[in-house]
Structure 1
């Protein structure tokens, strides 16, 4: 397709880039700098300042180098954000039962260590942090009885929620980029493996995954943004909620909301969110089971 005389091209992706070595013609490689350090610093700055406050100049200042030194390792700011996105996704602890042996190195790779010095095409696969710890302490856990797919799915959902809340800048990036780095693909493959084990027909697996992943994405995005707003305002989440509820205590259009909060009992915001998340996830899993059984019955009869 084209608009006028200009063809519409897909956004460039670091994972599809042909650039395999960190080099810019005419430049000398900066001393003491590598892609790993750059990505780790990027994640720290994004956590502290958000997407709006992030810039290549701010990053260079954080690293104590010039902006051109950073471009020795990445072609564009977007490419760097893709690398940061995938690094953060590597924090999601995957169910050991759903991780292929070749995808789980024996040593955990935190956000500030790993194979990121290689070019994008050479970056290593994601891993399960839980898997690494278990391997180190008790041998290969794959020899033990695997957990039910429901428990594995709960782990995927809960771990994803933690990472999305920890890094509020992740949510908008997931909609901006292809999200096909090694850690993202390891998550996708693990999630597909878990859902296949549910017994769903293959043509329904992606739909069931969409239900769970979009629920987690939406829930965690709002949770993370609310927590970030409270931090920026220097107020505790419970205090902000109480302030809001006090302000609207005489408004009849909030009667239903007040009754709902009263039914929760004397608990804080975080505990209330935990309850809501767990119950909603249970509903989703129960729905998947019910529709799976109905689909199989329909196909059999």
Structure 2
């Protein structure tokens, strides 16, 4: 049984502006602002049209539907990521800079976590990032499919550590919980596991944001160490 035919905003040329001062870029910027303010659930063509002082129907000249609009804003996210040119940089520096940058971009635009894996990354910014990473791992010595596996391993680590943090931040923003009482509850739950209790008490952070950054940096180094070890074999 055949599936739904794939379509993407990137499969056709942008339509020219029909209104002076209006452009697809302006619509994307306004959508980003609305998403940053209200999240994915707060984005609608009606709200976006009101923000731009235009009717929702007029926006459909530039994007066929909300899905296409999300493709465009998703590519803007990739455009904010920093990936040093692999031709001028050690591959670990390229990969590490990208990983830290991707994490910060997702945290800065938490709604983007809801698009990962759902929205195709086929825009020019996403393809430029993918191309630079591919060249960096090829320069390191990876060959064939291992280049793709190395890139996906790196991005999977960033997604896996950052998306839960986005969810936690959103939960705390919607319904703040007292962290002291949370910690006390965890200690009670772990009362029968002395090793876990020891780790919990030893790892109590003075600053949660700093602790998360340190954990991310440690894990990233471990991932890159593992990739480098594969090169040695």
Measure, in 2, the Cα distance between the counterparts of 1:254 and 1:87: 46
Q: Is the counterpart of residue 21 in structure 1 residue 15 in structure 2? A: yes
Q: Which residue of 2 aligns with 1:229?
A: 171
Matches within 5 A, 1:1-301: 1-2=1-2, 8-17=3-12, 19-22=13-16, 29-98=18-87, 146-233=88-175, 235=176, 240-251=178-189, 252=191, 256-294=195-233
Please, which runs of 5 or more residues in structure 1 have no aligned partner?
3-7, 24-28, 99-145, 295-301
Larger Rg: 1
Measure, in 2, the Cα distance between the counterparts of 1:226 and 1:12: 33
CA pair 34-20 structure 1, distance change in 2 beyond 3 A = closer
Measure, in 1, the Cα distance between the counterparts of 2:108 and 2:52: 23
- CA drift of 1:278 comes to 0.7
Measure, in 1, the Cα distance between the counterparts of 2:35 and 2:100: 22
- CA drift of 1:293 comes to 1.1
Measure, in 2, the Cα distance between the counterparts of 1:68 and 1:30: 13
Measure, in 1, the Cα distance between the counterparts of 2:210 and 2:217: 11
Greater helix percent: which structure? Answer: 2
- CA drift of 1:148 comes to 1.9
Q: Are 1:51 and 1:169, in contact at CA under 8 Å, matched by a contact in 2? A: yes
Please, which runs of 5 or more residues in structure 2 have no aligned partner?
none
- CA drift of 1:226 comes to 1.7
CA pair 253-87 structure 1, distance change in 2 beyond 3 A = farther
CA deviation map 1:86-105 (0-9, x unaligned): 0121000121345xxxxxxx
- CA drift of 1:255 comes to 5.3
Count of aligned positions: 232
Local SS of the residue matching 1:174: coil
- CA drift of 1:149 comes to 1.3
Q: Are 1:248 and 1:254, in contact at CA under 8 Å, matched by a contact in 2? A: no
- CA drift of 1:163 comes to 0.8
CA pair 292-16 structure 1, distance change in 2 beyond 3 A = same
TM-score by length of 2: 0.90
Q: Are 2:79 and 2:126, in contact at CA under 8 Å, matched by a contact in 1? A: yes
TM-score by length of 1: 0.71
Q: Are 1:212 and 1:284, in contact at CA under 8 Å, matched by a contact in 2? A: yes
